[in-house]
Structure 1
């Protein structure tokens, strides 16, 4: 079971990062616009974040194995459609459906592990799962580069045979489990929460490109602000709510949520900007960039395996605090690179950050399900994964916006000071730099000015990168300290909160 769940989780997380390196090939093959390419990323990110809680709650009621297999089937079929896409619209629609399937698997996976493993075995299982999570994030550029060398379609088609094999294992080797007390689906809560989260995540994803004061973005934020309180009112009145609001009366869950948002906001934004730095400033290929991320991959995997082994003997709050602080210190160690720095200047911070994330990932997933009865594991893990993906969206939006502003200001000031460009021309070029179009900006000026523009663009991008590492590092450290302060060992039951009798009552054998 653990192998099947880990492979499925690896696939869905890999699809978050693997697509980035294939965008140029997709653009050429499908004649896509820049807007189309943005939606290749955003469609998956949006649906992945929105349906996590709903999937976890439905799994508790309908059966975790059943819902996981349905999500896996959706993901596999959508991957096939992505690989067969003949137009940008077809690809983007398929990516949105793929994100729904990914959300189902991601939300239910921790609940399946919690149901099948207990005590030290559960800690080890979450350690392995956490290592796989870090592995998927880190090797995305490497595997994407290798597959794109054959065809960009293979980054999606490879999921199909793997998805079929995992489905067979799940149906033949994994027992069914569910919450025996949950009888009705909370359709009003599901609809309102999904709508509210869709508005919020969409606004975060598109706010930088559209402009934070754009009427559409402001309207989306306002809509989410209205619907979320409505959702709370609905849940208070429901006999079988999709989200037990009592979860937020547990101090340890709140501390874990804060640390989860902070850690993912910091690290995922840092990885995004470091990958762009290696490719656009240092000139490495996508494959070469992926190779240089292998130390991070190794650090995450080893730290996750080791921390999982000892997690049953170490307080969760300590692992959360140490993991986030190590992640933050690793980011701060990499906040002083320049356009001429060798990539090895990133290595110490990369290893320390990888160690931190490797320590944090397993305890985050394990603690989310340990704080509630096993019968509620899907709901709790779905909420925890929502915080994780929400942190990613928030980090890319907030830290990305700060970095882009710094890049634009530095570039515009430098080229204007050179006396070779008017203020209007400098602002136009600065907009290209802040949008990450570093390879295009030099071609937008006469040959005599290209060296100046290219060098200034690289310096401006590095200034933005350094700011991301500095601010993100502080965010991760503060989040870890708050998590440590709020989490309490007494919130975690010493024994699994499900008796052997209840366990046998809620499980059905695999067929």
Structure 2
């Protein structure tokens, strides 16, 4: 069994860093009460983590090639653990948000090295099994976050959702030191201008989207942030086109297969996971469930995704990636569409069919996305393609969260118009988890109808996004005559 210790180390790190994407959502009401946080501030506790993770993934991959993958992986674990400690001890929202940003740095170092470490450790059927298990950890982690968060928040307290990372990280560091191979890939110059311009562009756009949810799309600060984000994106494109050793070779986007895979990676997290934040808030505030019960509402999706991803690594080895990814996204579309059955008088059970179908789609797509991008690029760009795929997955979630927050609030406001004196303010408080506090200001039936309408709208948006991108994947991602993707990565690394 010693041969599976590297897989255990990598899977533990992946599960831990991806759980932290969604674990905050279930603790949001308790966190907001203790730290007196606004809904916008709560969004930043999620989005800053994801932004830093997305912005630094490709840079972390480059550093791993230069310094050694195991070394960067272990440093990432240590940084993540220390930042988790800071999160658990945070005295206010500002300190928590800052610590979450540092967590993102550690998470980037871990995630950027995971696929490469597995690919150089395992061969043949063992490699397929390893990537299947790793994919299962990917697929289940984001959905399992609220479940674990519910258990810890209800029985220990919200701070424990961060402190629990410490023993997990310690075990992963120990396993990494005794079981993971060393070695480096091809070295190259670290593209600091590219990293900087990409980080600024993504941060400004996400800030503008979050700001729009509270201040409106015509607010001068909102418009300025979005315009500056577009300008920073133009700068990033110019920098990368002129760089001799770019963080992201933009010529790869001339390949339809690569472009549609990046869209698929972003759409998967945007459509399947971003809406879970609002499901958690609805379950706790409107349905009155405790943190544990609210987390268990999402259990069907987590369990199904884990089982399907684990089995898929062994059973779907010879299936073309476009079928696994494309059909997976279409199933995500069908699942989120089924979730629109939620109405004003619905309970949590109304979500179960949709969450199960969504879990199947997540389980089919996630393991293949980790390797499919490598098969559509030249071997020397294999590491870059892996980093780009992970980056787009996180960026999809980071951008979708504020967009869906704006959508759910706007739809709730339209239902509340005429029924309450200040529909905009009430809608913002309602969708931020303030249902109980609003009962004296508006009839319960109206508030429930408003939140249900908001959920219906974000599920519809998620379904349309997943369906459109799923069809595009089926149409544009053609079978490859290249070697097995993980083999390509090994060969590319060996040349270094």
Give your verdict on TM over 0.5: yes
Greater Cα shift, 238-247 or 401-410: 238-247
Residues 1:480 and 2:486 are matched in the alignment: no
1:119-176 Cα deviation digits (max 9, x unpaired)? 5433332221221123222222221122122132221111112212211211221112
Residues 1:216 and 2:221 are matched in the alignment: yes
1:374-408 Cα deviation digits (max 9, x unpaired)? 66444222211221122112322333322221110
Greater Cα shift, 35-44 or 257-266: 35-44
**Matching residue within 78, 86, 91 for 2:83:** 78
Deviation at residue 426 of structure 1 after TM alignment:
4.5
What is the CA–CA distance in structure 2 between the aligned matches of 1:438 and 1:136, rounded to whole Å? 29
Question: Do 1:371 and 1:491's aligned partners in 2 also have CA atoms closer than 8 Å?
Answer: no
Name the residue aligned to 1:286.
291
Name the residue aligned to 1:243.
248
Change (3 A) 1:275 1:211: same
Name the residue aligned to 1:309.
314
Q: Secondary structure at the match of 1:18?
A: helix
**Matching residue within 307, 311, 332 for 1:327:** 332
What is the CA–CA distance in structure 2 between the aligned matches of 1:436 and 1:340, rounded to whole Å? 17
Change (3 A) 1:46 1:237: closer
Greater Cα shift, 466-475 or 315-324: 466-475
Deviation at residue 504 of structure 1 after TM alignment:
5.3
Change (3 A) 1:117 1:203: farther
Name the residue aligned to 1:467.
457
Question: Do 1:120 and 1:312's aligned partners in 2 also have CA atoms closer than 8 Å?
Answer: no
Question: Do 2:25 and 2:280's aligned partners in 1 also have CA atoms closer than 8 Å?
Answer: no
Aligned residues: 490
Name the residue aligned to 1:53.
58
Report matched runs for 1:441-456 at 5 Å: 441-443=438-440, 445=441, 452=443, 454-456=444-446
Deviation at residue 33 of structure 1 after TM alignment:
5.7
Report matched runs for 1:37-186 at 5 Å: 37-148=42-153, 149-180=155-186, 182-186=187-191
Change (3 A) 1:434 1:111: same
Q: Secondary structure at the match of 1:269?
A: coil
| Higher CA-based Rg | 1
What is the CA–CA distance in structure 2 between the aligned matches of 1:34 and 1:409, rounded to whole Å? 19
Change (3 A) 1:500 1:486: closer
Change (3 A) 1:374 1:86: farther
Greater Cα shift, 17-26 or 465-474: 17-26
Question: Do 1:250 and 1:491's aligned partners in 2 also have CA atoms closer than 8 Å?
Answer: no
What is the CA–CA distance in structure 2 between the aligned matches of 1:79 and 1:312, rounded to whole Å? 37
Name the residue aligned to 1:418.
none
What is the CA–CA distance in structure 2 between the aligned matches of 1:35 and 1:470, rounded to whole Å? 23
What is the CA–CA distance in structure 2 between the aligned matches of 1:177 and 1:3, rounded to whole Å? 19
Question: Do 1:21 and 1:286's aligned partners in 2 also have CA atoms closer than 8 Å?
Answer: yes
What is the CA–CA distance in structure 2 between the aligned matches of 1:466 and 1:399, rounded to whole Å? 11
Change (3 A) 1:158 1:203: same
What is the CA–CA distance in structure 2 between the aligned matches of 1:152 and 1:495, rounded to whole Å? 41
Greater Cα shift, 301-310 or 183-192: 183-192
What is the CA–CA distance in structure 2 between the aligned matches of 1:426 and 1:499, rounded to whole Å? 54
Deviation at residue 244 of structure 1 after TM alignment:
2.2
Question: Do 2:15 and 2:138's aligned partners in 1 also have CA atoms closer than 8 Å?
Answer: yes
**Matching residue within 468, 483, 487 for 1:493:** 483
Deviation at residue 435 of structure 1 after TM alignment:
4.2
Question: Do 2:70 and 2:117's aligned partners in 1 also have CA atoms closer than 8 Å?
Answer: yes
Name the residue aligned to 2:429.
432
Report matched runs for 1:281-430 at 5 Å: 281-372=286-377, 376-413=381-418, 415=419, 424-430=421-427
